């Protein structure tokens, strides 16, 4: 109470003090958030000056209904996808001068596939950092491949915007080191079918099946045509000198189509 003031003024002053106390509390929460963001940036081994941009990269669209004035990571994911594609393409082009365009395209398709990016996201601990609604989290959002992969690409965009292409390149190549080693050893080819299965299991809770629709040539020199199907829908078609090769080719085409479809969906949103 302030001596010498009427009761109604005393009440107004009390409300003002309460309001100022609430602002101090909010500011303390914001400071905690900034400290948490700095800690996350340190864990990700990135030097980020714009922490608001980092927070946006970690914000799934489901969280918008629970926090006013927040922006989702979708625009950043759009940019990060392009930056990541450039980084991986340049790395493969410069590293493997003896490999054909087709071989490089197949390697890139694996390196930037949703399951690989989701795995990299988990290794970085992004699954624990993403801001999402309670409903999204309860439905398994922190393990959803699409959310994890999109968040990884959004982080790539943040590093690019805040620190430049060289730092974005360093971040991408470090985070994707495991799959890049597989590409070097040419062990990534086995991943097409498993990557497609991870993708369909994560999205539809079902695995694709492979159907031989044609065999051509003599017994010692056959060519197989195989379709990758899910619930009757053809996801991809591939050919090979063995059923396994044709299945891998069909899985690769399916992965590329799925990625193109996802990019188109994001562009419409």
Query: Does 187 qualify as catalytic in the annotation?
Result: no
Is residue 153 annotated as part of the catalytic site, yes or no?
yes
Q: Catalytic residue among 55, 136, 150, 153, which? A: 153
CB atoms within 10 A of CB 4: 7
According to the 3-state scheme, what is the secondary structure of 6-22?
A: CHHHHHHHHHHHHHHHH
Say which residue, 266 or 136, is predicted with more confidence: 136
> Given a cut of 80, is residue 140 above it in pLDDT?
yes
| pLDDT of 18 strictly over 70 | no
**Chain segment 83-100, per-residue pLDDT in tens:** 999 999 999 999 999 999
Q: What is the mean pLDDT of the chain?
A: 83
* Domains contained in the chain, CATH given: 50-186 (1.10.1520.10), 198-269 (3.30.160.20)
Cβ neighbourhood burial of 100 (10 Å; 0-12, 13-18, 19+): exposed
Catalytic entry in 81, 114, 191, 253? 81
As given in the structure block, the two tokens for residue 119 are 């795995």
Q: pLDDT per residue over 40-75, tens digit each?
A: 888 888 888 899 899 999 999 998 876 666 789 999
Q: Provide mean pLDDT across the span 180-201.
A: 84
Check residue 44 and give its pLDDT. Answer: 85
pLDDT in tens, 110-135: 899 888 999 999 999 999 989 988 89
């Amino acid at each position: 109470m302030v001596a010498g003031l009427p009761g109604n003024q005393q009440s107004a002053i009390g409300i003002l003090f309460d309001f100022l106390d609430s602002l101090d509390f909010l500011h303390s929460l914001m400071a905690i958030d900034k400290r948490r963001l700095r800690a996350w940036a340190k864990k990700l081994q990135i030097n980020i000056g714009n922490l608001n941009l980092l927070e946006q990269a970690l914000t799934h669209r489901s969280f918008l209904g629970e926090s006013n004035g927040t922006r989702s990571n979708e625009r950043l994911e759009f940019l990060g996808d392009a930056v990541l594609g450039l980084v991986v393409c340049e790395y493969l082009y410069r590293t493997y001068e003896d490999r054909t365009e087709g071989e490089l395209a197949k390697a890139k398709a694996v390196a930037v596939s949703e399951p690989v990016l989701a795995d990299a996201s988990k290794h970085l601990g992004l699954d624990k950092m993403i801001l999402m609604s309670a409903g999204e989290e309860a439905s398994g959002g922190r393990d959803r491949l699409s959310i994890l992969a999109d968040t990884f690409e959004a982080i790539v965009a943040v590093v690019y915007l805040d620190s430049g292409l060289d730092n974005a390149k360093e971040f991408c190549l470090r985070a994707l080191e495991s799959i890049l080693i597989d590409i070097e050893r040419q062990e990534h080819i086995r991943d097409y079918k498993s990557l497609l299965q991870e993708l369909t299991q994560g999205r539809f809770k079902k695995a694709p099946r492979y159907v031989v629709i044609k065999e051509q040539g003599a017994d010692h020199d056959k060519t197989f045509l195989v379709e990758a199907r899910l619930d009757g829908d053809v996801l991809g078609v591939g050919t090979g000198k063995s059923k396994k090769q044709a299945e891998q080719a069909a899985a690769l085409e399916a992965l590329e189509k799925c990625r193109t479809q996802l990019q188109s969906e994001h562009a419409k949103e």
